[in-house]
A and B are shown apart, each in its own frame.
Chain A
Amino acid sequence: AQSVTQPDIHITVSEGASLELRCNYSYGATPYLFWYVQSPGQGLQLLLKYFSGDTLVQGIKGFEAEFKRSQSSFNLRKPSVHWSDAAEYFCAGGAGGTSYGKLTFGQGTILTVHP
């Protein structure tokens, strides 16, 4: 069965520090992968997406993610965190075919940013 796992439920970083959120996937074939961010009372906002090609993907708000097939990972990174980045982050995967918008989400990682 297809699955996406985020090992860290909660991460705390200091403002200005670097950030890495982990995501592992289990799919029969190479999935296409997403990172979304959700702030309280807000809808999910797409940060970036990997479909094929360059394994280092740049997204909005200074985020990037690297697809590593050998490790079945798609970790999200940011070199310097801002207080406004505090939110919940979800990794998601989708398969090909016609159901390409049917995503499997991880459990989410809550990011707290200390001043």
Chain B
Amino acid sequence: DTGVSQDPRHKITKRGQNVTFRCDPISEHNRLYWYRQTLGQGPEFLTYFQNEAQLEKSRLLSDRFSAERPKGSFSTLEIQRTEQGDSAMYLCASSLGRGAANEKLFFGSGTQLSVL
């Protein structure tokens, strides 16, 4: 168990540029979640995958955001035409996905995005 890994740890970009983040979940974890956390707030749910299928997306996830999880392994989150309001910590979490009673999310350390 090497934990959930996110790359990069920090990303600084200019407004209008595209950025992509990567998340490597704990091996054998079927579920993968993306959350966003802004300063002084708790994390907010963005989307989640069960294996390679994206099952739910929050209304927070505008058309500029897209997430993939090819082959049910790692996941990427892309933000197109970044805006200053996208500045936040993007958190990834994974879990075994064996029902609510057993659900336990393991979080990565996050990618801190700053849009100038």
Residues 31-67 (chain A) with a chain B CB within 8 angstroms: 32, 36, 41-46, 49, 51-52
Say whether B103 contacts A94, CB under 8 Å: yes
Which residue of chain B has its CB nearest to the CB of A45? B107
Say whether A103 contacts B100, CB under 8 Å: no
* B110 interface residue per 8 A CB criterion: yes
Say whether A108 contacts B42, CB under 8 Å: yes
Say whether A44 contacts B107, CB under 8 Å: yes
- Which size class do A's interface residues fall under? 20 to 34
Say whether B55 contacts A92, CB under 8 Å: no
Q: A42-B109, A51-B100 are in contact. Are A101 and B95 (CB under 8 A)?
A: yes
Say whether B45 contacts A43, CB under 8 Å: no
How far does the alpha carbon of A98 sit from the alpha carbon of B99 in the complex, in Å? 8
* B113 interface residue per 8 A CB criterion: no
Q: A42-B109, A46-B104, A101-B97 are in contact. Are A107 and B40 (CB under 8 A)?
A: yes
How far does the alpha carbon of A90 sit from the alpha carbon of B105 in the complex, in Å? 14
Say whether B42 contacts A46, CB under 8 Å: no
Say whether B56 contacts A102, CB under 8 Å: yes
* A27 interface residue per 8 A CB criterion: no
From the candidates A36, A44, A100, name the one contacting B99 in the complex (CB within 8 A).
Answer: A100
A residues whose Cβ falls under 8 Å from a Cβ of B: 4, 32, 36, 41-46, 49, 51-52, 90, 92, 94, 96, 98-108
17 A-B pairs whose Cβ atoms sit less than 8 Å apart in the complex: A32-B103, A36-B107, A42-B109, A43-B4, A43-B106, A43-B107, A46-B106, A98-B55, A101-B31, A101-B33, A101-B93, A101-B97, A103-B43, A105-B43, A107-B40, A107-B42, A108-B41
